[in-house]
Structure 1
Amino acid sequence: MNPDLTLPYEGESPSFASRPVWCGRGSTVIGAARIGDQAWLGDAAVIRADGQRVTLGDRFWLGHRSTVHIATFTHGTTCGDRVTVGRNSVLHACTIGADVVVEDDVVILDGSSIGDGAVIEAGATVFPRSDLAGGFAYAGSPAKAVRPITPGEAAERAERVRERSAEGLGADPEPPQDLDPDVFVARTARLRGRVGLGAGASVLFCCALEAEAGPIVVGADTNIQDNTVIRSRGEGVVIGRDTTIAHNVRIADSRIGARSLIGIGAVIAPGTLIADDVMVAAGATTDPGQILESGHLWGGRPARILGPLDAERRSMMLRIVESYCRHGREYRAAQEELAG
C-alpha cells in the first residue's frame, strides 16, 4: 500500500523496498527518503527528506501522527532495522541504531545518536547532540539513563507500542478549497471551521487546524509544520506574522505573537499569551493563562526563562521563516503538478 501523498524534492523521489510497506490514511513521504522492507507507517505519519536524506531500515514502524525530518543544511536522519516509534513522536536530524524503541510523545533533536537496543520512554526529550548508549532506558527532559534494559524487554515494549497503534485516527483529511494563491496547505492537512491564513502562510503535511468554537487566525508568512494540532474550543487562536510553529506542536485557545518560534513537540495550554519575539524550546509546556514575555528563550515544564533572545537566535528564526516560505511555494507547485 502506498502513502496517501508522495512528492519529489529537487528531483529526488522516495524509494521503497520491494517487500510490502503498509501506509495509513494521510501518510506522507517527501524527497530523498529510502524505506526498508516491511515498514509500517501509521495514519498521518510524515517522512520529509527535503534537503538531506532519510534512510529507514527494515521493519521500521512509525506510529500515528509521528514525524521524521532532517536539518536542511547539516543532518539527515538514519534508523537501523526494527526501530519502533510510537504516536506523536518526532525524529529530527538524528541517528538511531537497531532494535530501538521510541515511545509516544518523544522528541529526538538534531545531531543526536541513539545506540542499539535503547528505549526512549514516553514524553522524553533528547536534547541536540546527545549520545545515548544502547541497552538503557531513558526518560525526562533532557533524557537521561534511568536503568539498564533487561533481556527481551525492548522487544516487549516495542510490541506494546505497536498494540497501542492498532486503532487509527479516524476520518481522512479534508483539505480546504479556494485558497489564496500565496498560501500553501498540504493535501494531507485538515482545516475545519473558521480558519484564516495570511498571505504566504503555509500549513504542512498532516496538520489539523480545528476551529470548533472561536476562529484560528494565522499571520502572513507564518509556517505551521507537520503534524501540529491547533484546536479552538473557546475564544480562538491568533498567531502573528513571520512565526514558526514547529513539528507536532499542540496549541489550545491562546495568543502567539509575531516573529516567534514554538519548538518541536511543545504544548501551549489554554489562555497562554506569548508576546512578539519569543522562542519556546522543543518539548516545553505552558501553564493555563501563562504569559511569556518578549525577548526571551523559554523552556521547561512549565516554561521558564532560559536566556535572552540574542542576535544569533533571531537570525536563525528569520532563516526558518524564509526557508518555509520557499518550501510553501515549491510544495504548492508540486501538488498542483501531481493533480494534473
Structure 2
Amino acid sequence: MSIILPVKGINPEFGNDCFIAPNATIVGDVKMGNKCSVWFNAVVRGDVNSITVGDESNIQDGAVIHATYLKAATVIGNRVNIGHNAIVHGCTVKDNVLIGMGAIVMDHAVVNEFCIIAAGSVVLENTICESGYIYAGTPAKKIKPITEEQRALLNKLPDNYIMYSDWFR
C-alpha cells in the first residue's frame, strides 16, 4: 500500500483520477492536480516545504521530489514528465517539460516551458533554462533548440502515462 502521511497536521491533496503506485511515498504539504501519476518507489516529500504538481504530470519510478526548509518550495507545472530516478529539489518546472532519467534539478532553478533536461544532467542552483531548448551535461548547459519531433514527444508523453495508469486500475 502507498505511504501517504500527514506532516505537522498537513495531508497531501490529490486531484481527480490520480494513480499512486502501491509503494510510492507521498507525505506532507503536497498538492497534486488531476490525472497525475506517481510511480513505483517514487518519493514526494513535502515535509520541509510545499510541493505543488499541476495536472497530467507524472513522477516516474524512483524519482525524488523534495524542497529546502524555509528557503525553496517545489513547483511542477502541467504535463510534466519526471524521468526514472530523477531528483527535483526546491525548484520550478514549468509546463510541458521532460526531466530525463537520473537528472537533477537543484534549488531555485527554473526550467521553462517545452524544455528537455537530458538524462543524467545536473541543473545547478539558480539556473534559468530557456524555453524550447535541450539542456545537457554536468553542469547542464543549453545545447540546441528542441525539434518539432521532440515538441510532439513532450505533448504525447503525459497522455502515455495517463494510459499506463489506467492499466493498473
TM-score (norm 2): 0.89
User: Contact between 1:86 and 1:161, CA under 8 Å: does it hold in 2?
Assistant: no
1:29 to 26, 31, 40: 26
Rg larger in structure:
1
Corresponding position: 1:82 with 2:46: no
Name the residue aligned to 2:117. Answer: 120
Question: Which has the higher relative contact order, 1 or 2, with Cα contacts under 8 A spaced 6 or more apart?
Answer: 2
- Whole-angstrom distance in 2 between the partners of 1:129 and 1:87: 23
The offset of 1:5, in angstroms, is 0.8
1:55 corresponds in structure 2 to 52
Using the TM superposition, give the Cα deviation of residue 7 of structure 1 relative to its aligned residue in structure 2, in angstroms: 0.9
TM-superposed CA distance for 1:159, in Å, is 4.8
Residues 144-180 of structure 1, C-alpha deviations (whole Å, 9 max, x = no match): 011001235134157569979x99xxxxxxxxxxxxx
1:196-253 CA distance string (max 9 Å, x none):
xxxxxxxxxxxxxxxxxxxxxxxxxxxxxxxxxxxxxxxxxxxxxxxxxxxxxxxxxx
- Among 40, 44, 64, the residue aligned to 1:43: 40
Equivalent residue for 1:91?
Answer: 88
> Take 2:120 and 2:85, find their aligned partners in 1: how far apart are those partners?
10
Q: Distance in 1 between matches of 2:154 and 2:92?
A: 20
Write the distance in 2 (CA, Å) between the matches of 1:87 and 1:158. Answer: 18
Partner Cα separation in structure 2 for residue 12 and residue 154 of structure 1: 37
Q: Secondary structure at the match of 1:29?
A: strand
Q: Give the Cα–Cα distance (whole angstroms) in 1 for the partners of residues 154 and 132 of structure 2.
A: 13
Aligned with 2:148: secondary structure? coil
8 Å Cα contact 2:19-2:37 kept in structure 1: yes
AA in 2 matched with 1:104: M
Please name the residue that 2:167 is paired with: none
Aligned residues: 163
Equivalent in 9, 12, 16 of residue 11 of structure 1: 9
Aligned to 1:66: 63
In structure 1, what is the Cα distance between the partners aligned to 2:115 and 2:45?
24
Q: Aligned with 1:48: secondary structure? A: strand
Work out whether residues 84 and 101 of structure 1, in 8 Å CA contact, stay in contact via their aligned partners in 2.
Answer: yes
Distance apart, 1:80 and its partner CA: 1.0
Segments of 4+ moved more than 3 angstroms: 157-164
For the 8 Å contact 1:86–1:162, the answer to whether it is kept is no
Counterpart selection for 2:150 from 142, 149, 153: 153
Q: Distance in 2 between matches of 1:55 and 1:154?
A: 24
TM-score normalised by L of structure 1: 0.45
Distance 1:156 1:27, change over 3 A: same
> 1:113 touches 1:131 (CA, 8 Å); kept in 2?
yes
Q: Distance in 1 between matches of 2:100 and 2:22?
A: 21
Per the alignment, do residues 126 and 161 of structure 1 end up closer, same or farther by CA in structure 2, a change over 3 Å counting? farther
- Name the Cα RMSD after superposition: 2.1
Q: Which amino acid aligns with 1:64?
A: D
Q: Distance in 2 between matches of 1:11 and 1:50?
A: 11
Q: Secondary structure at the match of 1:73?
A: coil
Identity of paired residues, percent? 26
Letter in 1 for 2:9: G
The answer to whether the 8 A contact 1:63-1:88 is kept is yes
- CA 1:162–1:66 in structure 2 vs 1: closer, same or farther (change >3 Å)? farther
Contact 1:103 1:161 in 2 (8 A): no
Q: How far is the alpha carbon of 1:92 from its aligned partner?
A: 0.2
Deviations 1:126-154 (A, max 9, x none): 01111111100010000001100123513
> 1:91, 1:162 → 2: CA distance?
21
- 1:176 corresponding residue in structure 2: none
> 5+ unaligned residues in a row in structure 1: which ranges?
168-340
2:114 match: secondary structure: coil
